[in-house]
Amino acid sequence: MTTSDEASDLARDLRRNLPAADKHLAMLHGRLAAAADAEGVLDIAYRTVDTPVGRLLLAATERGLVRVAYASEDHDAVLQTLAERISPRILHTPARLDAAAVELEEYFAGQRRAFDIPLDWRLTGGFRSTVLHHLATDLGYGQTASYGTVARLAGNPKAIRAVGTACATNPLPVVVPCHRVVRSDGSLGGYLGGLEAKRILLTLETAA
């Protein structure tokens, strides 16, 4: 049985030892990925997409989208963390994330106001999970709320700093809209993707 790690190692060996064209390697990789998926040994699929806020890494399990990462988070480091926290059986398998890529493309084109793809929430828990679930369901497109307002929504009005931590460690930015949380005076506050990315997302939603 071929594991995803073995598939990746084989592809690297072929690239070193055979003068194959890139398209042939891509075809081989696709076959290996399909085999790993069919045999049930592919736990995490990933791909990248180019967006107005930079290249985003998308990763999904059988449960749903588990990670969205900005380039500033270091995609290699993110994949390593996924291997440690979920499973080392990770493979670059773009087709498995086509639905997520399409919804993001529609969102950035101003054609989508909510995401319908299933989410895997396992990378967050406790109060942080409560905060992020409220952001996903209660803070609609084009709206903003202060950290204090979100703390009240999450059932702990005094947990303003904890709300900030939940936003800063959100494993699913853009899709779970922590960019809609701002300071009480209306200023942007922080954002894990950088303030320019937050500004772009808020401007996009306001203009639509």
Measuring CA to CA, how many Å separate 48 from each of 12, 52, 91, 97, 187? 19, 13, 12, 9, 30
Tell me what pLDDT residue 2 has.
44
Tell me what pLDDT residue 57 has.
98
Closest CA to 2 of 22, 11, 122: 11
Tell me what pLDDT residue 114 has.
96
Secondary structure (3-state) at 32? helix
Tell me what pLDDT residue 42 has.
87
Partners of 91 in the beta sheet?
A: 45
Tell me what pLDDT residue 28 has.
46
Measuring CA to CA, how many Å separate 110 from each of 116, 135, 141, 180? 15, 20, 11, 16
Sign of the torsion angle spanned by Cα atoms 60, 63, 65, 66: negative
Structure tokens at 115: 């995401």
- Domains contained in the chain, CATH given: 126-207 (1.10.10.10)
Is 178 known to be catalytic?
yes
User: Distance between CA atoms of 111 and 18, rounded to whole angstroms?
Assistant: 45
User: Distance between CA atoms of 206 and 127, rounded to whole angstroms?
Assistant: 29
Q: Which residues of the chain have pLDDT under 70?
A: 1-41, 208
Tell me what pLDDT residue 102 has.
98
Tell me what pLDDT residue 99 has.
97
Q: Which of 178, 182, 202, 204 is catalytic?
A: 178
Structure tokens at 192: 């894990």
